[in-house]
Each structure stands twice: as C-alpha cells, then as structure tokens.
C-alpha cells in the first residue's frame, strides 16, 4: 500500500498536478477551496467567480456532515478585487423562475452534501449578500440535521456567483469563512487562501446528474467481480477551456490505464486495489463526446467510464489524473 502511494505521489508531482500551498488555515472548518466542477474557469483571473469550499469532514456519505440549526449561518467574505458586475441579480436558489438550475440567471449559492448535484434542499436556507462587507450568507430557515448516507448534511458550500468577477491579477487571496455549526452554533472563523490562476487549466470533473436522482457515484459498493451500480461520469475541459472530446481509457497494466485522445496520452488512471486482487478493470463504450454542464449549460465533453470489481473483497481507490490539470477520485467497496 505504501509503495502504491509513493508511485502515485511521484506521478502527480512529475506532471505538476499536486501542489502544496504553504498558506494553510491554522484552525477552522474549511480545509480547501476548489474550482466548481460545472465551469472551466471558476478560479481564473478576470473570469466569473465560481468555486466550492470544502469543510473538514469526510466526503464519505456514511460520515455525517455538519448541522446548521434554524437562524444560524455560514458567511463567506470575499477580499478586495472580487466584485459584483451587476450582470445578474443576487437571490436564493428557487426564489424565482430565473433562479433555478435549468434557468440560472442569478448569482446564488448552495450547500452541498459531498457529491455534485446533491445540495441540501434550498428551501431549508436563504442566500443573501452584504455589499458593504462583500459577504455572502447562507441562513438556515429550518434545522438542517444529518440523517445518514442519503442526507449526510453539510459538507461543502458552492458559490455560483456568476454575476461576480475574480480579480484581474493572479495570486493568493484570503477568504474569510465564519460557520455557526452544531448544537451550540458557536461562530468559528477560518482564514483560507484561494489561488487565482492566470489562465484555464485542463480539468476532469465528476458529475452525478446523468443518473436519475443524482445518487452518489463517487462512493459505491458492489460484489466481487461485479460492475458498480453507477458509471463514473466526468466532464472534460482542455487547456483552452474547450470541450475535450474523443478521450477514452486504455489499460496498460492491471492497476494502471491511460487517458488517450487520439494518439496522445492526456492523462492516467491509477487503481489502488487490495493485495493480490486481479480481474478489476475500467471500460468505456465510446470516447468522450459533446455535452453541457448541469446548472449553467457550459459546453463541455462527457466521458463515461464503467468499473468492474476484481476477485478480491476490499477497498478500491481509482484516481484519474489529467496531465497539466487536476485529479479526481472514486471509491469502491467490494464485498
């Protein structure tokens, strides 16, 4: 297991995909901030502001997220440089016909339960903005309490602030996030740097919306030698922010595959399998093809990958690595 981890670490470093930011939060509830999966440029200088705050709890649906009791809040203050372009009104999701995922003509925010397109239902909270402090606030209108894998509670906060623009200058910008989680609702403030990058990078983005009800396809359980219930769906953008079509998966060894676009290798896949496991494999019925992202409808490319479990029970971790871009992981428990 340690050897597999070292090999993966070396591979990620060699392609410049694993970056260690020296600025980390000393304490608080936020552990990272990432580009939203539904756009190609959410953290790019000058582009529309669209990113996700990850809280300090496992994304595994069997692990409960945070509780937010009625009247308590999550507040996110953007530093100077992030500004309202007046392109869209600011509103709570679902508050009008023009502020819904199929017709998103508003700046808004959602709380997410650990996998894409699975928000805490917006009627349970409101979203507001204070211009003077440049602060967005989610306020619970009812108690939001985790109840298990189908409703694990709050794990992420997604700012879909398409009416705002990132600073024109790349660099680290300090975000201030104050959460009032738990029974006490005691405010906890996290100062977390967000890196605004100079240009679009290739990205591979997990999505759930192509399966009815947007079930959790990132963490799945299946039987020995069986397929997972849900395929792995990804949205692909290239280094120009354009759809990355004609990408497929090809195994090179039992635990390694490449992402190929024609004759070019554009990424890799590493499978961390139980000791002695064999027979596990990744398959695609067809190369990635044009699609639109959920919520915003941005042109992209959809890659669908099937996974068949090996002959050994245990945990399988599948890591997709896009050269020059990011990584995306899937977790399959085989029983």
Whole-model pTM over 0.95: no
pLDDT at 8 exceeding the cut of 80: no
CA dihedral 249, 315, 294, 321 (to 10 degrees): -40
pLDDT at 18 exceeding the cut of 90: no
Which of 29, 2, 19, 23 lies closest to 187, judged by CA?
Answer: 29
Domain ranges in the chain? 28-196, 203-334
Minimum mean pLDDT range among 24-38, 140-154, 185-199, 308-322: 24-38
d(CA 254, CA 272): 10
For Cα atoms 302, 307, 310, give the angle at the middle one, nearest 5 degrees: 165
| SS3 label, residue 10 | helix
| Domain 28-196 and domain 203-334 have a common topology | yes
Which of 117, 110, 79 lies closest to 94, judged by CA?
Answer: 110
Q: Residue 20's pLDDT is what?
A: 30
Q: Residue 102's pLDDT is what?
A: 86
| Mean of the per-residue pLDDT values of the chain | 92
Minimum mean pLDDT range among 14-18, 41-45, 212-216, 269-273: 14-18
Pull the structure tokens for residue 243.
Answer: 């759809």
Average pLDDT rounded to a whole number, residues 98-110: 94
Q: Are 195 and 43 within 8 A, CB to CB?
A: yes
Q: Residue 122's pLDDT is what?
A: 86
Pull the structure tokens for residue 112.
Answer: 């997410």
pLDDT at 6 exceeding the cut of 50: no
Q: Residue 27's pLDDT is what?
A: 64
Residue pLDDT, tens place only, 137-180: 999 999 999 999 999 999 999 999 999 999 999 999 999 999 99
Q: Which helix (H) or strand (E) holds 8?
A: helix 2-14
pLDDT at 70 exceeding the cut of 80: yes
Average pLDDT rounded to a whole number, residues 46-73: 97
pLDDT at 133 exceeding the cut of 80: yes
Topology at the third CATH level for domain 28-196: Immunoglobulin-like (2.60.40)
Query: Who contacts 123 (Cβ-Cβ below 8 Å, separation ≥6)?
Result: 94, 141
Q: Which CATH architecture has domain 203-334?
A: Sandwich (2.60)
d(CA 259, CA 288): 11
Q: Are 47 and 168 within 8 A, CB to CB?
A: no
Selected residue with higher pLDDT from 50 and 122: 50
Average pLDDT rounded to a whole number, residues 37-47: 97
pLDDT at 9 exceeding the cut of 70: no
Q: Residue 51's pLDDT is what?
A: 95
d(CA 15, CA 264): 15
Q: Residue 11's pLDDT is what?
A: 37
Which of 206, 263, 250 lies closest to 230, judged by CA?
Answer: 206
Q: By percentage, how much of the chain surpasses pLDDT 90?
A: 90
For Cα atoms 37, 39, 43, give the angle at the middle one, nearest 5 degrees: 90
d(CA 322, CA 15): 9
């Amino acid at each position: 297991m340690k050897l597999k981890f070292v090999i993966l670490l070396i591979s990620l470093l060699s392609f410049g995909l694993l970056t260690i930011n020296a600025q980390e939060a000393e304490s608080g509830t936020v552990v990272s901030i990432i580009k939203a999966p539904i756009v190609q440029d959410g953290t790019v200088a000058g582009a529309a502001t669209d990113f996700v705050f990850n809280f300090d709890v496992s994304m595994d649906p069997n692990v409960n997220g945070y509780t937010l009791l009625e009247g308590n809040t999550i507040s996110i203050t953007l530093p100077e440089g992030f500004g309202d372009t007046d392109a869209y009104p600011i509103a709570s999701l679902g508050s009008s016909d023009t502020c819904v995922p199929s017709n998103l003509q508003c700046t808004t925010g959602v709380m997410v339960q650990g996998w894409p397109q699975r928000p805490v239902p917006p009627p349970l909270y409101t979203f507001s903005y204070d211009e003077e402090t440049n602060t967005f606030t989610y306020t619970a209108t009812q108690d939001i309490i985790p109840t298990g894998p189908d409703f694990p509670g709050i794990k992420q906060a997604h700012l879909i602030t398409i009416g705002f623009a990132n600073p024109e200058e790349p660099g680290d910008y300090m975000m201030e996030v104050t959460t009032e989680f738990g029974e006490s609702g005691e405010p906890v403030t996290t100062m977390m740097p967000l890196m605004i990058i100079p240009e679009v990078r290739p990205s591979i983005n997990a999505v759930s919306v192509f399966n009815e009800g947007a079930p959790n396809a990132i963490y799945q359980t299946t039987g020995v030698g069986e397929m997972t219930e849900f395929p792995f769906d990804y949205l692909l953008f290239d280094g120009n922010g354009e759809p990355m079509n004609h990408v497929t998966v090809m195994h090179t060894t039992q635990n390694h595959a490449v992402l190929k676009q024609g004759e070019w290798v554009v990424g890799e896949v590493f499978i961390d399998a139980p000791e002695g496991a064999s027979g596990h494999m990744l398959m695609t019925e067809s190369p990635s093809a044009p699609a639109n992202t959920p919520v915003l409808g941005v042109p992209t490319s959809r890659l669908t990958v099937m996974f068949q479990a090996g002959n050994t029970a245990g945990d399988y971790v599948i890591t997709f690595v896009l050269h020059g871009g990011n990584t995306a992981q899937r977790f399959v428990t085989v029983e």
